[in-house]
Every structure is written in structure tokens, then in C-alpha cells.
Amino acid sequence: MAQPTSKLTWCKARFGEDMNWWVQETSDPVHWDVDGLGIIDPRQFQHITELLEPLQEYGLQPELVDNAFYSFAIDKIEKDKTVLLKRIKDSILESEEQLFALPDVLDDDKGPYADLLNHLTKLRIKMLNDLIDFSQTLTVEELEEEIREQQTGDYMEGRITHFFTEITTILEYVPEGFELEEDDPSPKSEEEELERDLNDIDTSDVDEKIEEDDTMKWDEEEEEDEDVTDDDYEETTSPPTEDKK
């Protein structure tokens, strides 16, 4: 059965106090309930794609990521600071534009977004079991319990868990008491390498040595030179005299 998404051609989004974007209105109010409907902004989606990279060697299926989101580009900014987003057909992963990503949640349990979350959960658990020596094998249920606890906590405090938070909870999950060792990323350019080296230099000792150096008396010498005028110089030679015959 085809999903009724053809009427979803645009939506309006507002920036919330929680620093997330939330959908305020859509072109298809029949099928889309905007109450608590979040949308992932380009910066957030870029962060998600970076978190997905380690999962590639564990069987990440990019098509599941593409199918889980509707792509939107900024059409215009309204006077009330809401943003009008226009639906486009570009792949959210391959497009060079800065796109907003709206998860396909028309079917909460069996839709493309639910499939993606299940896929990411399994891969994250697989990666953790591979990288960390647990006394007992980590299970998918443990991660799912972590997600439920977070959502319950948000609900009790009157908040709705944003899609960005839901995804990053999975992609950043590490059991309490454990941690993943991450390699120090190498600079991407000579400028970044130079900046990193400069930041690593401790200049405190250098500053102290300069202040305490007895040879640093240039200012005093300059002041003494400025006090000397032309009157202070005396002519030390006599004018030439004519030869007497």
C-alpha cells in the first residue's frame, strides 16, 4: 500500500528555545500532525553523517538512511522568523545543498524511519561488542531500554524528544562505566596543523623570562637618547686657519 505523501510539498519550521527546529505547518495537515513534530537541520544532519561513518564497516546500508527522510531546502525566511521549506527530490546523503531532513514517521512502528532506527541500533551494538571486551555480550534490548528511559525522562519534564536526540542517543551510546578510545584526528590541512601546534605551545614561561631579562632596557635607553639635544654637543675641533707665508 502506497503511503499518502504526495501532498507534502512544503512545511514551515520554527527555531525552538531548545536550539532545535520544529515543524509549525505543513502542506498536508491531514496526514501530518505538527504537534511535537521535529525536523533535523543541516548542521545536525552533518553531525549524524559523521557518526554514521564508523558503522560502514559493520554493514551500514545508506539506502535506509535515504529512505528514512524527506529532503527540504530553504525557500524563504518569513517576517515572524519562521522558515518556509520546499520539498525536493534530492538524496539527503548525496545532495550538495544544505538540506533539512524530516523523518518519515507516518507509520511509527513499520515505516522507513523505524527501520533505520532498528538498523542503527543493531550496528551500534555490533560495533561496541567488537571494540569493548564486555564480560557479557551487549544486547540490543539494553540500548532500547536506554532510549525509552530518556524519552520517559523528557516526557516527565514536559519535553518531547527531538529526532536528532533520538538518533544521536543510538549513535553515541556506550554503556555506563565503559568508553571508546578514539584516535586523535589528523589535521586536514597545513593551516590546521600549524594552528594546532601554536595552540599546544605554552607561552607562560616565555613571557616570564622576557619580563625578568636584564637586557631588556630598550625603553630606558630610548628615553635617555630623547633627552639629548643639539646644545649638548660641543664642537671639539677648531676651524681651519690660513697658511702663513
Provide the residue-wise pLDDT of the chain in tens; the chain has 245 residues. 344 445 899 999 999 999 999 999 999 999 999 999 999 999 999 999 999 999 999 999 999 999 999 999 999 999 889 999 999 988 899 898 999 999 999 887 789 999 999 999 999 999 999 999 888 999 999 888 888 888 888 888 888 899 999 999 999 999 888 888 764 444 445 555 555 555 554 444 444 444 444 544 545 555 555 555 555 544 444 455 555 44
CB atoms within 10 A of CB 231: 6
What is the number of domains present in the chain? Answer: 1
Q: Which of 70, 69, 42, 37 is nearest to 160 (CA)?
A: 37
Grid coordinates standing for 228?
639629548
Rounded to whole angstroms, the Cα distance separating 114 from 104 reads: 8
Whole-number pLDDT of residue 141: 92
Indicate whether 112 belongs to any domain.
yes
Q: Which residues are registered as beta bridge partners of 76?
A: 84
Q: How far from 125 is each of 128, 131, 178, 233, CA to CA, in Å? A: 5, 10, 13, 88
Report the amino acid identity of residue 107: D
Half-sphere exposure (CA, 13 Å, Cβ side) for 10? Answer: 9
**Do 163 and 103 form a contact (C-beta atoms < 8 A)?**
yes
Whole-number pLDDT of residue 157: 87
Whole-number pLDDT of residue 245: 43
> Taking the mean position of all CA atoms in its chain, how far away is CA 146?
23
Indicate whether 37 belongs to any domain.
yes
Whole-number pLDDT of residue 224: 54
Grid coordinates standing for 127?
560495533
- Residue 120's domain spans which residues? 10-171
Whole-number pLDDT of residue 221: 52
Indicate whether 211 belongs to any domain.
no
Q: Does this model's pTM top 0.85?
A: no
Indicate whether 82 belongs to any domain.
yes
Indicate whether 90 belongs to any domain.
yes
Indicate whether 222 belongs to any domain.
no
Indicate whether 221 belongs to any domain.
no
Indicate whether 161 belongs to any domain.
yes
